Structure 1
Amino acid sequence: MALKVLTVVGVRPQFIKAAAVSRALREHGGIQEILVHTGQHFDQAMSGVFFEELELPSPAYNLEVNSVSHGAMTGRMLEKLEGVMMRERPDWVLVYGDTNSTVAGALAAAKLHIPVAHVEAGTRSYNRRMAEEINRVVADHVSSLLLCPTQTAVTNLAREGITAGVHHVGDVMYDVAKAAVAKAEARSRILEELQLSRGTYAVATVHRAENTDDPERFARVMAWLSQQGERSPIVMPVHPRTRKLMDSLGLVPKGTRLIEPLGYLDMAWLTHNAAAVFTDSGGLQKEAYFHRVPCVTLRNDTECVETIEAGWNRLWTVADYQPRQEITDIGDGSSSRKVAELLVAPDF
């Protein structure tokens, strides 16, 4: 009988990671994947276009849980995921990253005694005020397979007493980014549509709760972006929650062009050709490095410490980058294949 893997996704970065791993599962053979979309990101711009562009299979279940508080969202996901898992009885539940979808999937599986595999295990910002950090820690502590993107993540888990089932597989997001540039160059027309020239603009995104839930901090972020916008133009794909906050506070950074959220290929091509990236997104920090574009993280800490140490990223509170070097342990584009192999023949 085929190994049954139930994959839980809910937001843009998870669609990207799942696209690579789902492809590897299909290529491996002997694996049946049940894809569950929690609905955390739910509209076409934030969800549907990613399934289309990344050739991610349509979800078998869409739980349509969104637009409520953290507690309500996680609780509703738990309830609905439990029902799906009891119906499907998978051999593994596969979760990604640090979202409410991740922690709900991991907890629902653990309570049903279904083994959990966590892709991107072990990343830490050590800021427990961030919901994402709590989600990471909880998911890691109930997982049987901890699939780490870097050796730093392995070390972080060891500090917490987690050593069994820990594997350094590399970063599955790199698998996607490595293959995406040629496709994006052929298909994306975002530079022409926005009338941009390569290397003449920066890309910005702001969506993390630590920035958007605090109007005073959000105003400081917008002021910082305004300073950068006076030097060179900024293109800012705007998360719906961020746009609502901008409208309510009347805050739009100077020199910044606000656009709707982009699909993966357009965003990859926009980032690939930018002079800089300004973001509070963990995923975009890494993608900036994949495209070898310097990044400034609009937070006081980051889980992407390797990008800081390698000089491709810095916190907005820090004036200068460290000396620039390559990051050697993110993998060679085969991380997704390693994930598939470990699900079939787990090494605890």
Structure 2
Amino acid sequence: MRPRIAIDAMGGDEGARVMVAGAALARHRHAGFQFLFVGDEAQIREALKDHPNLSAASDILHAPDVVSGDDKPGQALRGSKTTSMGMAVNAVKTGEVSAAVSAGNTGALMAIAKLALRTMPGIDRPALSALLPTMKETDVVMLDLGANTECNSRNLVQFAVMGAAYSRIMHGFDRPRVKLLNIGTEEAKGTGTIQEAAATLKGAGGLHMDFLGFTEADKISTGEVDVIVTDGFSGNVALKALEGTARFVTDLLKRSFLSSLRSKIGFLISRPATEMLRDQLDPNNHNGAVFLGLNGVVVKSHGSADAKGVANAVEVAARLVEDSILERISEDLKKISETSPVAEVAK
């Protein structure tokens, strides 16, 4: 199916200019993409002047209000009928578009999307998932990254099913390798909740994944696993630690290369390697977190993303639509027999 994607044009640090530029870049790469830009019509039309080829593939839906970064989820919900974020998500609900992309307030987007789209049958809670860079050629899918601070074993099993479906689409794996994030790899390690989830996944049949037990946080970036499952509290802490470490490494390298003339010469010699490192750690190249488990596709872009980052988020949304992420998750849940431990988990 040819994806038509709603863009919350007012979300993000720079608003319509960058959101429109990102959509233009995505359409340059994929000529079939269609867009519905939601937000201040005057600003959107002004931004579209720089991308005439995008105008023919785009419609505008004027939204008089905007969800600010400081708005609480409750505030965002109350005003969702007139905000660009709320109207973009509602367009998914009505079937006017196939997916929505926003770079706005994460908590507000989750609240609006969950209320408008509801969770899929067999899923108790939606999870925030993203692709994180690894030492291997493919990224690792990690979830939950902050949508659910407290989770039971049933939630973790459902996250594993959703994460595996996501990995199958993004990387083409038949049976993604799945592990639970834990404080150790030994079978006896971890809380009762993690132990219960592991036992359920080990005993399940018919799932499109290979459950391989536990992994620790220092192995997230090694590429030894395709999907890492955890609760939103631990996942968000791990994500922020990874982002902070990446900034630390790049800043340290920059400072070291500027410390002396010899270091500057060394930088010139090693520039290809440092450029590769910078590209690998650039969050714009991995932009596009997904709210999995909803009856619709909603993708969260970094608020500070540039046009390249927004384009990547748009492409993630389109890929999930084209490869039927909702149907894949539903099929995986249905394949769990009613006598399987996971069947009780999915009810």
Scaled by the length of structure 2, the TM-score of the pair is 0.36
Larger radius of gyration: 2
TM-score (norm 1): 0.36
